Amino acid sequence: MSIYGEFADEFRPRPSWWRIAVVSVAQFLIGVAIANVLLAIADGVILINAGIARALIIHPGTWRTWISIAPHGFDAEHALVAVGFLIVGEIVLDFLPMPRTLAMRHFAVVIAQSFAAFGAVTLAIVQPALAGICIALAAAAVVWRAEIAAVRSFNNVIDMKRPRRRALVWLLRVGIIAALAAVPNARLGELLFLGIVTLIASLSRKPRDEYEETAEPELHEASAVLPLIAALVVGGMLWLAPRVIVISMRGVSIRPWKTIESDLAKRLSDRPARR
C-alpha cells in the first residue's frame, strides 16, 4: 500500500495530468541534453587520445556522435563510453541519494533512461552488429528497470494497478517524447527504442503496494521551474549547434564548426580502418 493508500483515489494528493506531461517533457529535454554534452566531451577526449586533435573539441550541438575512430570495425573507445553511460545511469537510479519529492525521483529515472537510450544506444549504432546488439540489450535492461521504478514512484500518489492508467501515465511521461521520432532529422532509433521498451515495461506488471513517503506529490514547484530550465538548456544547445567549444592550454574559445570540420574529417578519413 502507498502512503496515501487509506484515501480513495479521487481524494489523494496527486499531480494533474498536464503537470505530469510538462515535468516529464522538461526533464527528458534536460536529460538528453546532459547525455549529449557528455557524449561530445567523450568524442573530444577520443580525438586527443587518437592523436587527431591537440585541444579538447566539444560539439554538443550535433545531438549525435559524429566520430568513428574505427569506421569499419569494432570501435573499442565508444564501446567503453557506452558502458560508462550505463554504469552512471545505474548509479543515479539505484545509489545516488535523491530527495523524496516525486519530481526528483522521476528525474533519476529520466537520467538513467536518457543515458541508456541517447548515450549507449547512440554509440551502439556505430558498432558492428554483434557489439551493437549487446550494448542495446544492456541499455534495454537499464531502461526497463528505470521504468519499473517510475511506475512504483507514481503508484505512491496515483492508483497504477490498472493497465489503462499505466498506459495513460506512460503516454504523458514518455509517449510525448517518443512521438518526436516523427520530426524530420530526429533521433529516430533512440526515440523508438525508448518508447517501445518503456511501454512494454510499464504494462508488463502491476506495481506492488509499498509504504513510501513522497513529498510534493502535486508537482506544483517542478511544473513551474523545470520548463524554464529546459527552455534555457534547449536554447543553449540550438545556439551551439553551428559552433564548437575548444579547450586548450591557451584557454577556452567558441568557434564556428565549419572552420574545423573539414580538417577533422580529413584526419579521420586518413586513419586506417581497424578490423
Render pLDDT for 25-50 as a digit per residue (tens, 0 to 9). Answer: 999 999 999 999 999 999 999 888 88
Residue 166 lies in a domain: yes
Whether 165 has a pLDDT exceeding 80, the answer reads yes
What is the per-residue pLDDT for 1?
40
Residue 167 lies in a domain: yes
Contact 34, 111 (CB under 8 A): yes
Compute the average pLDDT of residues 87-109.
Answer: 92
How far from 161 is each of 90, 125, 201, 209, 214, CA to CA, in Å?
26, 36, 14, 9, 18
Q: Which domain holds residue 201?
A: 19-39+72-240
Q: Per DSSP, what are the bridge partners of residue 246?
A: 57, 253
Compute the average pLDDT of residues 103-115.
Answer: 96
Residue 247 lies in a domain: no
Give CA–CA dist 57/45, Å, rounded: 8
Whether 273 has a pLDDT exceeding 70, the answer reads no
Confidence band of 2 (pLDDT split at 50, 70, 90)? very low
Render pLDDT for 212-263 as a digit per residue (tens, 0 to 9). Answer: 788 899 999 999 999 999 999 999 999 998 999 999 888 999 999 888 877 7
Whether 149 has a pLDDT exceeding 50, the answer reads yes
Confidence band of 6 (pLDDT split at 50, 70, 90)? very low
Whether 21 has a pLDDT exceeding 60, the answer reads yes
Give CA–CA dist 255/196, Å, rounded: 38
Residue 199 lies in a domain: yes
Contact 147, 201 (CB under 8 A): yes
- The three-state secondary structure class of 139 is helix
Residue 275 lies in a domain: no
Rounded to 5°, angle at Cα 190 from 18 and 257: 105
Domain count for the chain: 1
Residue 45 lies in a domain: no
Residues composing the chain: 275
Q: Which residue has the cell 511501454?
A: 199
Residue 12 lies in a domain: no
Contacts of 179 (CB under 8 A, 6+ apart): 195
Of 81, 136, 86, 133, which Cα lies nearest the Cα of 111?
86
Residue 158 lies in a domain: yes
